[in-house]
């Protein structure tokens, strides 16, 4: 029995690879650095992310996925091949079965692209499963029971909201708002209010250090380095958590509306279950301070963050792969 199996959470900002019995073995940024001259891949993952915004004209560091779907086919294939090889080490004697988690709202064409890319990257078989389902499995939600469970998976490119019962999605919404949109909003706000230009990596760092979905009683502050928009010279500004809360209000409102839509379209019996059990938040961006409180206040339904929210999808993908027969109904196509 030499069939190797791996589960991949192919995220817009991060790729996580899960191997049965070993757990999560890779957790790296989904960034690829390519030479402009000969189109060769120079670096993938952490090494490539270090290059973001710092490359000379001859090198391009980019994210091959946009809003949860493949934007650049060849670069995604190179990235997947790199991660599959890294996961297997020297075990390339046997081709591997791969299960990839994709956003719930992707089209059949986008789904086909993921399957083709995974096969091209060296997989023997590729299975596709919806992110809300695997996020729920990874968050230890008993999705097979005849009871309604609500999962909100907030990643880098998309937010997936779903009510799951009997192993299937009853009502759902997939919106292209995630951590990346929050970072962009922070960059824009700091540019407008402070006249300071900052990059993506700095915006992400600010969001992690002092970001909050609700205004904090004890304000957090941080010094941010960037380029002065008037003089063009480097400058440091002190920015507070209130500034970040202001910056991301519009994006958060979009998430709240999507959550309300899903609740609105949920059958009454399942709504009662959700009210009783609460909503579970997963995904890397679910770690934003007070996001659970914001959802709870806006909807009146209790909300809490899953354990290790960023790893839920990858963990769920691995569990689904180990129990392929039980989860056949939740899987789209192979």
- On whether residue 58 sits in a domain, the answer given is no
**Of the residues 231, 247, 263, which one is the last residue of a structural domain?**
247
Do 18 and 111 sit in the same domain of this protein? yes
Residues 106 and 76 grouped into a single domain? yes
Band of the pLDDT at 190, cuts 50, 70, 90? Answer: very high
More confident of the two residues 44 and 91 = 44
Looking at the structure, do residues 241 and 276 belong to the same domain, yes or no?
no
Last residue in a domain, options 210, 229, 247:
247
Write down the pLDDT at residue 328.
Answer: 62
pLDDT value at residue 330: 57
Q: Which domain holds residue 129?
A: 4-30+68-134+313-330
Helical (H) or strand (E) element with 261: helix 241-264
Residues 74 and 100 occupy one common structural domain:
yes
pLDDT value at position 92? 61
Please tell me whether residues 194 and 234 are part of one structural domain.
Answer: yes
Query: Taking Cα atoms as reference points, which of 320, 323, 189 lies closest to residue 251?
Result: 189
- Report pLDDT digits (tens) over 78-95: 898 889 888 887 656 567
Place 334 in a pLDDT band, splitting at 50, 70 and 90.
very low
Looking at the structure, tell me whether residues 164 and 299 fall in a common domain.
Answer: yes
Question: CB–CB of 175/159 below 8 Å?
Answer: yes
Q: Please, which residues bridge with residue 60 across strands?
A: 34
pLDDT of 274 over the 90 cut: yes
Q: Is residue 62 part of a domain?
A: no
Q: Are residues 25 and 107 in the same domain?
A: yes
pLDDT at residue number 107:
86
Residue 139 lies in a domain: no
Q: What pLDDT score does 332 carry? A: 45
DSSP states along 214-239? S--SS--EEEEEEEETTT-SEEEEEE
40 domain-assigned:
no
Model confidence at 184: pLDDT above 60: yes
Same domain, 224 and 261: no
Q: Is 118 a member of any domain?
A: yes
Average pLDDT, the chain: 90
Report d(CA 331, CA 127) in Å as an integer: 7
**84-141 pLDDT, tens per residue?**
888 887 656 567 888 999 888 888 888 898 899 999 888 888 888 889 999 999 999 9
Residue 130 forms part of a structural domain: yes
Does residue 49 form part of some domain? Answer: no
Question: For residue 329, is pLDDT > 80?
Answer: no
| pLDDT of amino acid 287 | 95
Q: Are residues 115 and 103 in the same domain?
A: yes
Work out the number of other CB atoms within 10 angstroms of the CB of residue 267.
13
Single out the residue in 247, 264, 287 at which a domain terminates: 247
Instruction: Give the model's pLDDT for residue 89.
Output: 77
The answer to the question of residue 160 being in a domain is yes
Which pLDDT value is given to residue 149? 95
- Tokens 């809003």 label which residue? 67
Same-domain check for residues 234 and 107: no
pLDDT of 1: 40
Same domain, 82 and 96: yes
pLDDT of 70 above 70: yes
CATH code: domain of residue 152: 3.30.420.40
The CA distance from 294 to 234, in Å, is 36
Best-predicted range by mean pLDDT (126-135, 219-228, 309-318): 219-228
Tell me, what CATH number does 197's domain have? 3.90.640.10
Length of the chain: 334
> 10 near 30, Cβ under 8 Å?
yes
* Count of domains forming the chain: 3
pTM value is 0.89
Both 317 and 197 in one domain: the answer is no
């Amino acid at each position: 029995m030499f069939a190797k199996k791996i589960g991949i959470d192919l995220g817009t900002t991060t790729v996580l690879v899960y191997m049965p019995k070993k757990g999560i073995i890779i957790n790296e940024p989904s960034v690829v650095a390519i030479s402009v001259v000969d189109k060769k891949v120079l670096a993938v993952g952490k090494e490539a992310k270090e290059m973001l915004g710092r490359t000379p004209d001859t090198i391009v560091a980019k994210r091959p996925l946009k809003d949860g779907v493949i934007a650049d086919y060849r670069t995604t294939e190179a990235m997947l091949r790199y991660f599959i090889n890294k996961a297997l080490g020297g075990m390339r004697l046997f081709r591997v079965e791969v299960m990839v988690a994709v956003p719930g709202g992707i089209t059949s064409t986008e789904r086909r692209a993921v399957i083709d890319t995974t096969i091209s990257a060296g997989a023997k078989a590729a299975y596709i499963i919806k992110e809300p389902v695997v996020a729920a499995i990874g968050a230890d939600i008993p999705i097979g029971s005849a009871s309604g469970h609500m999962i909100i998976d907030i990643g880098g490119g998309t937010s997936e909201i779903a009510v799951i019962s009997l192993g299937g999605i009853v009502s759902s919404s997939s919106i292209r708002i995630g951590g990346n949109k929050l970072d962009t909003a922070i960059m824009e706000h700091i540019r407008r209010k402070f006249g300071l230009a900052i990059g993506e990596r700095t915006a992400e760092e600010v969001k992690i250090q002092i970001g909050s979905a609700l205004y904090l009683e004890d304000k957090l502050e941080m010094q941010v380095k960037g380029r002065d928009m008037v003089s063009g010279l480097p400058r440091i500004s002190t920015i507070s958590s209130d500034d970040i809360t202001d910056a991301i209000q519009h994006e958060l409102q979009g998430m709240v509306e999507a959550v309300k839509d899903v609740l609105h379209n949920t059958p009454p019996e399942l709504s009662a279950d959700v009210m009783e059990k609460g909503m579970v938040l997963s995904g890397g961006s679910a770690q934003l301070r007070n996001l659970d409180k914001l959802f709870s206040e806006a909807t009146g339904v209790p909300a809490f963050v899953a354990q290790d929210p960023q790893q839920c999808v990858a963990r769920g993908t691995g569990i689904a792969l180990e129990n392929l027969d039980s989860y056949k109904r939740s899987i789209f196509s192979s």
